[in-house]
Amino acid sequence: MKKLSVNHLLGIKYLKEEDIHLIFKTADHFKEVINRPIKKVPSLRDITIANLFFENSTRTKLSFELAEKRLSADVINFSTSHSSLNKGETLIDTVKNILAMKVDIVVMRHPNPGAALFLSKNVDACIINAGDGTHEHPSQALLDVFSIKEKLGDIKGKKIAIVGDILHSRVALSNIFALKMLGAEVRLCGPKSLIPKHIHSLGVSFSTNFIETLKWCDAVNMLRIQNERMDSNYFPSNREYSQLYGLNQKKLKLIKKEIFILHPGPINRGVEITSDVADSENAIILDQVENGVAVRMALIYLLVAKLNIPQV
């Protein structure tokens, strides 16, 4: 039977195209499971998973925790505000101590890019990257692409726009890798100050014209303005950003075609997207959240299948 080519999920760039197809196929089955009256299966009853969140998270943390519980794994949670990191413990020491409690999988979010890769090289456990700084957020990209695929059918040849704060967005980078791997055309759009240099090298196009980008695309992923990561002013004001790059009903009417709208959350209502658009039929923001659980169940299931077989 087919297996993932990797032992950890550190980023989309480490995956192969077949891995993504395998994850999606497995996620289809888990989506059916989580829509049953009893949403739980006993597959992972002998597995313990630690969720380490060194950075704030609502959706991702809940989604991972729910996915783990639906697979019957034992779950322990950890967040920085209550931890010994405040006492000066290093990351490796923290994780090694947690692993000494016989944990099989570590799901980690960390503010530093490369933290997951670093950990995978230094400790003996399966690592799932739940976001490392401005680098990658692979599970989010997988659920975004899974949701687009559900609506548009095959991804190959489809036109997907990613709009907004590309510079600070790990979601954008992971999405670009995943979409390109599956053969989509990707266009980035936003103020030049929020687009990284040399982004062309990833094989994506770039435009500052939002309306034209909307006309071009089949689906648009509206990124959040990450005020917490901005060390200087990248645009004059939220109001000006909203006028140029915020999605509202007026702009949607202007393009005279139906497009699907994604948002990784949390939404800054009225900045990158208005309430009426976020709550409209073509917004698949809540589908993303539902699919998030199914995709993460698939990810964990497939990674657990790669763990050493227990010697009983």
Partner 1 sequence: MSPKILLSSKKIDIILNRLACQLIEKYSDFSQVILVGLQPRGIFLLDRILLILEKKFSLGKVISGKLDITFFRDDFRRFNKTLSASSSQMEFTIEGKSVVIIDDVLFTGRSIRAALTALDNYGRPKDIQLLVLIDRRFSRDLPIQPDFIGAQVDALEGDKVRVHWNDNKQDNIVFIEKN
Structure token pair of residue 306: 């790669």
CB 218 within 8 A of CB 152: yes
**How many CB atoms lie under 10 A from the CB of residue 228?**
9
- Beta pairing, strands 74-79 & 260-262: unpaired
Nearer of residues 36 and 250 to partner 1, judged by Cβ: 36
Nearer of residues 98 and 302 to partner 1, judged by Cβ: 302
State which of residues 38, 124, 156, 198 lies at the interface with partner 1 (CB under 8 A). Answer: 38
Q: How far is the CB of 305 from partner 1 (least distance, A)?
A: 4
Distance separating alpha carbons of residues 301 and 28, to the nearest angstrom = 13
By CB under 8 A, residue 311 contacts partner 1: no
By CB under 8 A, residue 102 contacts partner 1: no
By CB under 8 A, residue 2 contacts partner 1: yes
Structure token pair of residue 52: 């380490």
Nearer of residues 2 and 121 to partner 1, judged by Cβ: 2
Nearer of residues 2 and 16 to partner 1, judged by Cβ: 2
State which of residues 7, 34, 43, 99 lies at the interface with partner 1 (CB under 8 A). Answer: 43
Distance separating alpha carbons of residues 107 and 64, to the nearest angstrom = 8
Distance separating alpha carbons of residues 40 and 33, to the nearest angstrom = 7
State which of residues 14, 26, 117, 166 lies at the interface with partner 1 (CB under 8 A). Answer: 26
By CB under 8 A, residue 287 contacts partner 1: no
Which region, judged by CB under 8 A, interacts with partner 1, from 12-20, 214-222, 224-232, 300-308? 300-308
Q: How far is the CB of 300 from partner 1 (least distance, A)?
A: 12
Nearer of residues 105 and 285 to partner 1, judged by Cβ: 105
Using CB under 8 A, count the residues that bind partner 1.
23
Nearer of residues 211 and 307 to partner 1, judged by Cβ: 307
By CB under 8 A, residue 1 contacts partner 1: yes
Q: How far is the CB of 23 from partner 1 (least distance, A)?
A: 12
By CB under 8 A, residue 197 contacts partner 1: no
Residue 142 vs residues 11, 23, 78, 178, 202: alpha-carbon distances, Å: 10, 9, 24, 7, 18
Q: CA geometry: angle at 273 spanning 248 and 214, to 5°?
A: 60
Q: Which residues, in sequence order, are CB contacts of 215 under 8 Å at separation 6+? A: 255, 257
Question: Would you call the peptide bond into 191 cis, given omega within 30 degrees of 0 as the criterion?
Answer: no
C-alpha 136: how far from its chain's center?
8
Say which amino acid occupies 251.
Answer: K
Nearer of residues 24 and 177 to partner 1, judged by Cβ: 24
Distance separating alpha carbons of residues 155 and 141, to the nearest angstrom = 13
Distance separating alpha carbons of residues 226 and 164, to the nearest angstrom = 10
Q: Binding to partner 1 (CB under 8 A): which residues in 60-79? A: 71
Q: Where along the sequence are the contacts to partner 1 (CB under 8 A)?
A: 1-3, 26, 28-29, 32-33, 36-38, 41-43, 46, 71, 301-302, 304-305, 307, 309-310
